[in-house]
Structure 1
Amino acid sequence: MYETAGPAVDDERTNLAAADGPPALAVPYDATHLGAKPLRTERMVLRPLLPTDADDVYEYQRLPEVLRFIPWPERDREEGRQHTEKRAAWRTIADDDDALIFAMVLVGEPSVSFSREGVRGDRVIGDLMVRVSSAEHAQVEIGWVLHPAFQGRGLAFEGAREVLRFAFESLNAHRVQALLASRNLASAALCERLGMRREGTMVEEEYHYGEWEDTAVYGILRREWAAAADSATAARLS
């Protein structure tokens, strides 16, 4: 037998949902200003992806251990450049499936390429996606990819935490989700560290590299994120 939530639990959930109000995603959102005023974390600058980031992006875009968990085809350098230019053009979020890509720029880490002036700027070590799943219902998806050489240092959490804040505070999302390959244990652990719950598994949902793959769904509501953020702030101040 399965136990069901009692009336008190159902009433509490209804009241909390009502307190959030109806969906009101802040779209259209023009991210152009984030070039001059990017998001910042303890160690990184998060700004919209640029065409000039192509060489840095290709350093992780070409790696088999990255492609194993991301539905990107294998690309040569020129194809990778074209893909980066395409994603860099995404600056306005308005409708379902519109996306914005944040470059994860590690301050003090030299880029693999030089500018026209012969200067090496800070390196793009990964990127973070914000995508509208449903504008009508204020649903947003986030995703991430990080060069394996920079994993294990908390940088993915640092960046994803800031993009999660952006989704709730700047876009006014009601719910944020992450979709990932079920076997991607590192990303699953990151979701849990961000306070997201595993909401289900879509069995054999996609076909990659000669096999069917399950997709795990993680999610968090704005009120849950806000409560966790308030608790973290109180802990720092105590």
Structure 2
Amino acid sequence: MSVKVDAYNPQWPSFFTAIKARLASHLASVPTVSIEHVGSTSVPDLAAKPIIDIDIIVTRPNVRGAINALVAAGFTDLGELGIEDRHALRDPDQSPPRNIYVCVEGAFQTRNHLAVRDTLRGNAALRDEYGQVKLALAARGTNIVDYVEAKGDVLQKILKEADLLSEEELAAIHAANLKGQRFSPVKTKRLVLREFVMADVQAFYELESIPEMVRYQNWPPRTMEQAREEVVKTVKDSNARPRTHVELAVVHEEKFIGRVGAMISPGDDVGREGKLKHADLWFSFRPESQGLSLATEAMEAFIPLLASPLELEIECDPRNTGSVKMAERLGFRKVGLTEKVYESKGEWVDSMVYQKVV
């Protein structure tokens, strides 16, 4: 999904004012230092993604109280997402789109947001340079993962002009803007594999609430709340270092059709007793997309993304012929069949294991 950057919209400050009033009502019982409009929409005449960024600044002892108050109001706690002292929350109201953060007063991540805003408000040349970089990236169809990293150099220039952060803090901000272990979208002949976003909750629910999709799983069809919890976990885990849970959404003709994932054992490239690191793989695709080799195409693109050397494993119920055929098409070798491994949904289940080293 390409980033959208718009010319400055004079309505953005009024959008912020309305959102701020609503946030203040939710936080009435929590001491707050301030609620700040930050990000590019807070700078007059600066091109920006049309998303209102808001920092709720609190002292450290009040962080959890602020988060809890917003969660009680229906917000989703997304955690720090790899940036210490900046807690992201998703507002259920996304009209207009917005990012809400609970930030610790005085933390350099908080000072970073304020320094960028205040410097750009007072420096037209830097403001215009920053805007041109963003417009150029959007014109090239840059995705959000690469977009954040690509504008890192000009952000460093802005922060150095502000002269409010130490060299160590500047380096930490630069590192936080790198995509790290997150993946840029991967395009195949027919598909796009990309990182999950919160907007995927509905599509994830529609996939995982289908009874036949969980026929061979240990859980019943997902509820909407369970789907939300799973997507939140996936979004959080995508920012973990080291990243052990890797899961990507699969899109076909601009529609979410499934997901592919791996759980990788932590540690060095070679684990205990010289054994390779291990990764358990899974995949789930909508019924109407099956039989078209889309799942195979997705897995063939996904597996090379995982760090090698690695021992891959697909474990499945032998009755799940789709998974068995997938493992065989991908060149996995059958290494075991164990009968009646566990009881699930009132019946004893066998386990078939396929492995491959990459």
Q: Is the 8 A contact 1:134 1:140 kept in 2?
A: no
Structure 1 residue 123 corresponds to structure 2 residue 252: no
Q: CA deviation at 1:61?
A: 0.4
Q: Is the 8 A contact 1:53 1:84 kept in 2?
A: yes
Any idea what SS the aligned residue of 1:89 has?
A: helix
Structure 1's consecutive aligned runs of 4 or more residues displaced over 6 angstroms after TM superposition are none
Aligned residue runs from structure 1 range 1-238, under 5 A: 30-32=180-182, 34=183, 37-91=184-238, 92=240, 94=242, 98-106=244-252, 108=253, 122-133=254-265, 135=267, 136=271, 137-167=276-306, 171-222=307-358
For residues 217 and 30 of structure 1, the distance between their equivalents in structure 2, rounded to whole angstroms, comes to: 32
Q: CA deviation at 1:188?
A: 0.4
CA shift in 2, pair 1:195/1:210, >3 Å: same
CA shift in 2, pair 1:187/1:84, >3 Å: same
Per the alignment, residue 48 of structure 2 pairs with none
User: Scaled by the length of structure 1, what TM-score is found?
Assistant: 0.67
Q: Is the 8 A contact 2:211 2:220 kept in 1?
A: no
Structure number with higher strand proportion? 1
For residues 126 and 93 of structure 1, the distance between their equivalents in structure 2, rounded to whole angstroms, comes to: 25
Q: CA deviation at 1:134?
A: 5.8
Q: CA deviation at 1:164?
A: 1.7
For residues 93 and 160 of structure 1, the distance between their equivalents in structure 2, rounded to whole angstroms, comes to: 23
Give the gaps of 5 or more residues in structure 2.
1-178
After superposition, give the CA deviation of every residue in 1:31-83 in whole Å (9 maximum; x if it has no partner): 33x2xx22221111111222210111111100110110233333322332222
For residues 343 and 242 of structure 2, the distance between their equivalents in structure 1, rounded to whole angstroms, comes to: 29
Which letter maps to 2:220? P
Structure number with higher helix proportion? 2
Give the gaps of 5 or more residues in structure 1.
1-28, 109-121, 223-238
For residues 75 and 176 of structure 1, the distance between their equivalents in structure 2, rounded to whole angstroms, comes to: 27
After superposition, give the CA deviation of every residue in 1:136-161 in whole Å (9 maximum; x if it has no partner): 23222211000111101110000011
Any idea what SS the aligned residue of 2:237 has?
A: coil
For residues 194 and 333 of structure 2, the distance between their equivalents in structure 1, rounded to whole angstroms, comes to: 27
Q: Is the 8 A contact 1:93 1:100 kept in 2?
A: no
Any idea what SS the aligned residue of 1:52 has?
A: helix
Q: Is the 8 A contact 2:200 2:231 kept in 1?
A: yes
For residues 216 and 316 of structure 2, the distance between their equivalents in structure 1, rounded to whole angstroms, comes to: 8
Which letter maps to 1:159? A
CA shift in 2, pair 1:51/1:63, >3 Å: same
Q: CA deviation at 1:185?
A: 0.7
Instruction: Count the aligned residue pairs.
Output: 172
Which letter maps to 2:242? A
Q: Is the 8 A contact 2:242 2:266 kept in 1?
A: no
